Structure 1
Amino acid sequence: MDQRRAEPDSGTDGSPVTLYGEFTATGNRKVRCAVSLTERDLIVQRLTSAPVGRSKAVLSLRDCVGCRAYRPHDNEDRAAHLSAYFYPLKRRRMSSGASRQRVEQCFRLAALQDPRANLDEAEKWARAVRERCGRNRLLADGMLTSQFSRPCRMMLLVNPQSGQGQALTLYNNHIQRMLNEAGVPHTLVITGELKAQCSPDRSICIFCVCQVVNGLLERPDWEEAIRTPLGILPGGSGNALAASIHHYSGASPVFSEELLLSCGFLLCKGLVSRMDLVSIHLSSSPRLFSFLSLAWGFVADVDIESEKYRHAGAARFTVGTLVRLASLRIYKGKLSYLPASKAHSSEGGLRNNMTLHCNNQTSSPSPAPLLCCQSGDSPCQNTLHNSCHSNNSLKVRRTESTPSRSATKAVPGPPDSLLVPLDQPLPSDWVVVQEEDFVLVLAMYQSHLAEDLMAAPEATLDDGVIHLFYVRAGISRSALLRLFLAMEKGAHVATNCQHLVHTKVKALRLEPHSPNGIITVDGEVVEYGPLQAEVHRGLGRFITG
């Protein structure tokens, strides 16, 4: 660090400079920089003219994932080094959108003869940057948001066969470096290795949703276990949940590796929000919990039948849509639902309890014990998936319950206060869509059905409603295609298609009458037949950045 000082700069918002220093660039000692730290920004002002480039950079601390101080391997060099890592949004070429791009700022501190003193100065800067980053994380739209405690050891579950088989490569190329830069200790678990590594640990957060949610909710201590923060890294074909989380961050749409960078950045920020979960009862199978969608008809058919095009990545759904449009099917059945505006207040008790639980987490946000999720009779089989809207993503061991209120109280997980047994008549305040011919029925609880399909544009992570869509028979192939094309930007609701119905509900019942068909929950085939579902507002915890 140079002894001669330049005039400290001020923040872009006029905030005062709290730390100032003059350093040389790590890669070129001829380049001197004046560095100013405010509550919101790191400002780098070049003091020398060479090499040619921008003379000033203002980097928002909201885009910073970490900062570290270190000594070089050369013991004869007394200098210390300071590196700060940013992922700001930058405009993409030939596009109006923006995506996260990595920016690293590295400085060399060698003002003092004592190497330890130089390292102490670098560590003072690193601590100050990290502390201000933490304060900027918690300040979201003027409100405090819960954050899991640091350091929190994360467990990343990677299925190397998901999507196009690139999940492990994507981790190695992007996520590993990101987490290291953020100072987040983590354990990488290839799904086939999970059985040997799934011992409970209070310091572990899980970054896989598909199986884990059901595993957490079948524990006797489910109320504590479901507080475990979950996250998502896209590595499959659809990546619907990842696209939803990215959408909620307010950023413009991104795809493929740009979506991965966005989700990785959000994980590093570590902000925890409540997430709705939906309990689903099948006629002869136990209850299961869903986090994304329930589909019958056209959407379910495309999802499952497009499996043969998995090598095409996200384009498999486009191909599957065109194939199914060529031979459009009609499905007979009965649909009933409880409108959100008529929902009973009986759900309020559970909601209030969960709200208090989460408020406590704001002050002491330690994750719940890790549960190694089970599938079938043996624990921790290799069916866990890091891309949760994919056909093999929801092979869960389900809780042993029935749709009755009395039965659900006897098993782990929250009771379903709005549902009656499937073989009993529905309450009078339910709306019944008389037996009709449907093209599709789709229940969404998050915004996206795939990376490029915003099926429920009004959805939020914990709005406490199911966004129910159905399309009546009689729609032409061209009109249905236009609906799905409009869905890419969430504009299908505004098309005023006379065959499309959208309503917000708290619970629903579906009774297919066609002898054959496909029903999917979170992209996975479930038992075909009558089912019903109820939303549980804010039951889960999700890392949203």
Structure 2
Amino acid sequence: MADSLCVMDVYHAKGDETVDSKEQVFLEETFYILSKKKSVFRVRLTSKGLSLIKETDDIAKEQTILLRDIVGSKCMRSKRRRAGGGSCVCSSLVGHHQLKVVDENSGDLDESDISAYLYIYAYVLKRGRRTKRERTTITLRFRSYDRYEDNNKEALKWRTTIKCLLENLSISNNPPINDKKLLVLLNPKSGPGKAREIFQTKVAPILQEAEIPYDLQVTKYANYAREFVRTRNVYNWRGIVAVGGDGVLFEILNGMFERLDWQQAFAEVPLAILPCGSGNGLATTICYHYDEPFTNSNMTGLSISLTRNRTAPMDIMFSFLSVGWGLLSDIDIESERLRAIGGQRFTVWAIARLVGLRKYKGTVSYALIKDIKTIPKSKHPLLSHSVSQDGTLDSPDTEAFYDCDEQSETFKSVNGRRHERVDSWYSVHSRRSAFYSTRDSDYHSVTSGSEVRSPVHACMHGPAPHLPSLMSQLPNTWVHEHGEFVMVHVSYQTHIGADLLFAPQSKLCDGVMWMLIIRAGISRSQILSFLLTLTQGNLAEINNEFIKMVPVSAFRIVPEGQNGYLTVDGELVEYGPIQAEIFPNIINLLVPDNV
């Protein structure tokens, strides 16, 4: 239910208080409160927001509803109360007649009430022990004129100005119109399986208040989202929203890279995520960067970001979150059987894996960034070179698209052993698609026989790689570590889960990946301390004989043996050699407005 902040009547006086010179005043009126005849509100619509100055018995109190907290507004008028009708949210406006304020297009309008009502919807950020957003409705009643049409004209002027300000457009007499819809791809099986319910109850009402139309597509089988964005005209939509776990966005990302026009698509169609899964690393990262409260049950801030046109660039390594080998990947994949309990599944399975601690043998190689402050900012959003401290990744430009042909099925690793080749996203010699599908998917196809399914393996395109292929030797400037490991995890986001602050120094777009390496020999008590530290975000301060966190611009992991898990963005991929490099400024994300 709406929390009505104030219900005010327009009055013909004009406020004359001084205004901050940095604020531009667009509209100003004085209203009074019907229930308190000696109280008036001087209301200003400024470049900062909606300023409400309450004056009662020579005492003035001011409150400002910031523009970034306002999602939309709507003009209304009153309707006759039907016999047996319930209480009215605006009963104080009309005394015992209890007329209800409804959409002006509704039937059975009360022609005797010439007032026009403006509802302004806002979600005000309340900071305290528990920071959260509270829904607030400001109701302004315009009745300065003798005709409804004239009063409605005044209300519409306020509404139009608010809409222009929210969309960062020049003020005009005509409300801005953007008929483009959001494309919402929703996985109903993410996390505990409540994605559809959460979207309808938490997100859809905000989009409705903001007058943002959307197309909702519920995924029907594994890779549905990937196929959808690859085969449709994505330019018909103003943005693509992944609703579910990190895996939904993983599919969308791969589907976009399977388009020949991937570069234009990423530049013109921003992406967004609304977390309903178990991990929710990227969503937490976005909220962390933009000082937005986040819990799995409260997505208000992220929902508001869908109503704005603000975007921010993000690096990728042909994933959007992390690549893992060892402990954290074991916990992620093996806890799938506990998906119904949500994020708590990770804690439960972490205890199990701590008791039965495993170690894995292999080689970890990386291009170390000696000083992250020296990395130049990329000026070009796409096809720019990845940069390492020693320039070891720089190479002559190659074709901007991957070649889907393969020349060899094996390659020789640093230690001289031969391995069966596993596709790398980052080698120009990749044979198959760069996409890794999920094993043991919960999806079951419900497509009709007439529906044409696209090929399972489509050619992956993308920016030109600078790494040698997995069959080639790495530059001699790289660091190579061979031995037994408890885990290796690489991420370029601050969070790899809602409660796992992995790399506090990370930015959405800084050209840096953070590699956590834990060697075998570490005690269980040290592992427990590490897991507790992971929830507090102090990993950058940990460097000892067993644990270290290093900034890198590229890496290669070559596991030995056949037993283990490799994960990309929490999704299981083939177990074998894998490598990645950072590509700056590839994706545009819809982000909260914190200006």
Q: TM-score, normalised by structure 1?
A: 0.78
> 2:70 matched to 1:64?
yes
Question: How far apart are the structure 2 equivalents of 1:117 and 1:382?
Answer: 56
Question: How far apart are the structure 1 equivalents of 2:479 and 2:169?
Answer: 46
The answer (yes or no) to whether the contact 2:41–2:55 under 8 Å persists in 1 is: yes
Question: How far apart are the structure 2 equivalents of 1:222 and 1:174?
Answer: 32
Question: How far apart are the structure 2 equivalents of 1:470 and 1:33?
Answer: 60
Give the direction of change, closer, same or farther, for the CA distance of 1:266–1:348 in structure 2 (3 Å limit): closer
> 2:236 matched to 1:203?
yes
Q: Percent identity?
A: 32
Give CA-to-partner distance per residue, 1:413-450, whole Å, 9 cap, x none. Answer: 11211x112122111121111x2111100010211111
2:215 to 175, 187, 192: 187
User: Which residue in the other structure is 2:465 paired with?
Assistant: 416
- Counterpart AA for 2:161: A
DSSP 3-state at the match of 1:226: helix
Give the direction of change, closer, same or farther, for the CA distance of 1:57–1:397 in structure 2 (3 Å limit): farther
Question: How far apart are the structure 1 equivalents of 2:54 and 2:155?
Answer: 19
User: Which residue in the other structure is 2:398 paired with?
Assistant: none
Question: How far apart are the structure 1 equivalents of 2:472 and 2:43?
Answer: 70
Relative to structure 2, which stretch is displaced further, 524-533 or 38-47?
38-47
Question: How far apart are the structure 2 equivalents of 1:375 and 1:29?
Answer: 67
Gaps of 5+ in 2: 1-8, 78-101, 171-176, 243-248, 385-434, 446-454
The answer (yes or no) to whether the contact 2:501–2:534 under 8 Å persists in 1 is: yes
- Counterpart AA for 1:244: T
Give the direction of change, closer, same or farther, for the CA distance of 1:18–1:540 in structure 2 (3 Å limit): closer
Question: How far apart are the structure 1 equivalents of 2:181 and 2:443?
Answer: 22
Question: How far apart are the structure 2 equivalents of 1:444 and 1:224?
Answer: 26
Relative to structure 2, which stretch is displaced further, 198-207 or 233-242?
198-207
Displacement of 1:496:
4.3
Displacement of 1:103:
1.7
DSSP 3-state at the match of 1:456: coil
Give the direction of change, closer, same or farther, for the CA distance of 1:398–1:64 in structure 2 (3 Å limit): farther
2:118 to 60, 82, 92: 82
Give CA-to-partner distance per residue, 1:346-368, whole Å, 9 cap, x none. Answer: x999946568xxxxxxxxxxxxx
Give the direction of change, closer, same or farther, for the CA distance of 1:229–1:115 in structure 2 (3 Å limit): same
Question: How far apart are the structure 2 equivalents of 1:535 and 1:383?
Answer: 35
- Counterpart AA for 1:413: G
Displacement of 1:317:
0.8
Give the direction of change, closer, same or farther, for the CA distance of 1:449–1:13 in structure 2 (3 Å limit): farther
User: Which residue in the other structure is 2:152 paired with?
Assistant: 119
User: Which residue in the other structure is 1:370 paired with?
Assistant: none
DSSP 3-state at the match of 1:202: helix
The answer (yes or no) to whether the contact 1:337–1:506 under 8 Å persists in 2 is: yes
The answer (yes or no) to whether the contact 2:562–2:575 under 8 Å persists in 1 is: no
Give CA-to-partner distance per residue, 1:7-33, whole Å, 9 cap, x none. Answer: 345556773643111346699999753
DSSP 3-state at the match of 2:497: coil
Aligned residues: 470
* Mapping 1:307-456, distance limit 5 Å: 307-341=336-370, 351=380, 400=459, 412-417=461-466, 419-433=467-481, 435-456=482-503
The answer (yes or no) to whether the contact 1:154–1:184 under 8 Å persists in 2 is: yes
Give CA-to-partner distance per residue, 1:290-349, whole Å, 9 cap, x none. Answer: 111000000100001111221221111111111110111111110001123599x9x999
The answer (yes or no) to whether the contact 1:62–1:136 under 8 Å persists in 2 is: no
Give the direction of change, closer, same or farther, for the CA distance of 1:31–1:174 in structure 2 (3 Å limit): farther
- Counterpart AA for 1:494: E
Question: How far apart are the structure 2 equivalents of 1:544 and 1:129?
Answer: 20
* Mapping 1:40-59, distance limit 5 Å: 40-46=48-54, 56-59=62-65
DSSP 3-state at the match of 1:207: strand
- Counterpart AA for 2:240: I
Question: How far apart are the structure 1 equivalents of 2:131 and 2:261?
Answer: 43
User: Which residue in the other structure is 1:264 paired with?
Assistant: 303
Displacement of 1:39:
1.6
Question: How far apart are the structure 1 equivalents of 2:334 and 2:35?
Answer: 53
Displacement of 1:492:
2.5
- Counterpart AA for 2:277: G
Displacement of 1:262:
2.0
* Mapping 1:183-332, distance limit 5 Å: 183-192=211-220, 199-204=232-237, 205-208=239-242, 209-227=249-267, 228-251=269-292, 254-258=294-298, 260-278=299-317, 289-332=318-361
Give the direction of change, closer, same or farther, for the CA distance of 1:352–1:121 in structure 2 (3 Å limit): closer
The answer (yes or no) to whether the contact 2:323–2:491 under 8 Å persists in 1 is: yes
Give CA-to-partner distance per residue, 1:29-70, whole Å, 9 cap, x none. Answer: 997533112221212234569xxx995432111222222333
- Counterpart AA for 1:305: E
Question: How far apart are the structure 1 equivalents of 2:465 and 2:436?
Answer: 24
Gaps of 5+ in 1: 138-148, 279-288, 356-373, 385-395, 401-410
The answer (yes or no) to whether the contact 1:218–1:398 under 8 Å persists in 2 is: no
Give CA-to-partner distance per residue, 1:450-489, whole Å, 9 cap, x none. Answer: 1000111111111112111111112111211111212212
Question: How far apart are the structure 1 equivalents of 2:456 and 2:25?
Answer: 55
* Mapping 1:473-492, distance limit 5 Å: 473-492=520-539
Question: How far apart are the structure 2 equivalents of 1:3 and 1:270?
Answer: 35
Displacement of 1:397:
5.5
Question: How far apart are the structure 2 equivalents of 1:10 and 1:484?
Answer: 55
Question: How far apart are the structure 1 equivalents of 2:509 and 2:535?
Answer: 22
Displacement of 1:112:
1.4
Displacement of 1:271:
1.0
Displacement of 1:382:
6.4
Which structure is higher in RCO with an 8 Å CA cutoff and minimum separation 6?
Answer: 1
2:45 to 20, 37, 50: 37
> 2:203 matched to 1:175?
yes
Question: How far apart are the structure 2 equivalents of 1:39 and 1:248?
Answer: 24
Give the direction of change, closer, same or farther, for the CA distance of 1:483–1:207 in structure 2 (3 Å limit): same
Bigger Rg over Cα: 2
Displacement of 1:136:
10
Higher helix share: 1
Question: How far apart are the structure 1 equivalents of 2:564 and 2:152?
Answer: 66
Give the direction of change, closer, same or farther, for the CA distance of 1:221–1:350 in structure 2 (3 Å limit): farther
Give CA-to-partner distance per residue, 1:144-185, whole Å, 9 cap, x none. Answer: xxxxx9454101111222111111111111111111122211
